[in-house]
Amino acid sequence: MQMMFTIAAAEQGARTASTGIADLFVKSFDIFTVLLMLASLAAGTVIVRCLIEIRSSRLMPEESERQIRRLLREGNLDGLESYLQRDESFIGQVLRAGIIVPGADRSAVRNACELAAGEQCARWFRKIEPLSVIGNLGPLLGLAGTVWGMVIAFGVLSTSGGQANPADLSGGIAKALFHTLLGLLVAIPSLLVFGLYRSVVDKLCTRAMGICGELVEALCDVKGGVVHTSSNGGGAVSAGAFNGVGRGAGQPV
């Protein structure tokens, strides 16, 4: 019997706490609450987009790498250029910058590809940058709401001539602390996901740039005339031209 009373009391306390939080939310609802809710929604959207887009299969799809290696091995520059025009992956964008460089100047091709690789890295890092902005602005918005709540509390105290009772002051103080809580709830997950995905993006971009470096050298060999025409008219590549091209990513050369 005593246990039943204890359980009932706990349930009643939980309902009271839930009702109290809901009432506090309603009483504290103002422009700062709206801004923090919008920031929370924006952060959630960016996090979901990161979960969907930031992965190895988006930066360097195996099919894309395989097709590029095959076309380079065959020395089919026209086919490679046509394929790269449709390829939106990290590797495809970098190789596209190199293949459109006129002539066979290695330094020009490398420079074009390096610029494209830097641009692609920046593009992928920009996908997570909003989380850093939201994570840093969240506590500031909460602080602004906190200051506003304290202004209300002291305004009540001033109006009452310094004789306000705790019930009169509690509304402004609760509003101040509630805004602080909301700001922290926005900032903590945003900065946490930003820190985690920053290392993920860095790792993926580093791997992609390593693959691109290998493929760019192969592209320079093809454009420089390492490819020779075989007796049946098809393109072929001399034996040492593609040291490692055709192997899977990450396999030893």
Domain spans of the chain, in order of start: 28-54+129-197, 56-126+201-226
Q: 126 falls in which pLDDT band (50, 70, 90)?
A: very high
Distances (CA, A) of 215 to 68, 110, 194, 209: 8, 11, 31, 10
- 101 or 238: which leads in pLDDT: 101
Judged against a pLDDT cut of 80, whether residue 3 lies above it is answered with no
pLDDT one-digit tens code per residue, 39-59: 999 999 999 999 999 988 888
Tell me the pTM: 0.71
Strand partners for 235:
229
**225: which DSSP letter?**
T
The full length of the chain comes to 253
Average pLDDT, the chain: 79
Helices (H), the chain: 2-27, 31-53, 56-59, 62-74, 77-86, 90-99, 106-126, 129-159, 166-223
Q: How far is CA 242 from CA 103, 134, 219, 227, 238, in A?
A: 20, 46, 9, 10, 8
Q: What is the pLDDT of residues 163-219, one digit of tens each?
A: 666 666 677 777 788 888 899 999 999 999 999 999 999 999 999 999 999 999 999
At 119 the pLDDT is 93
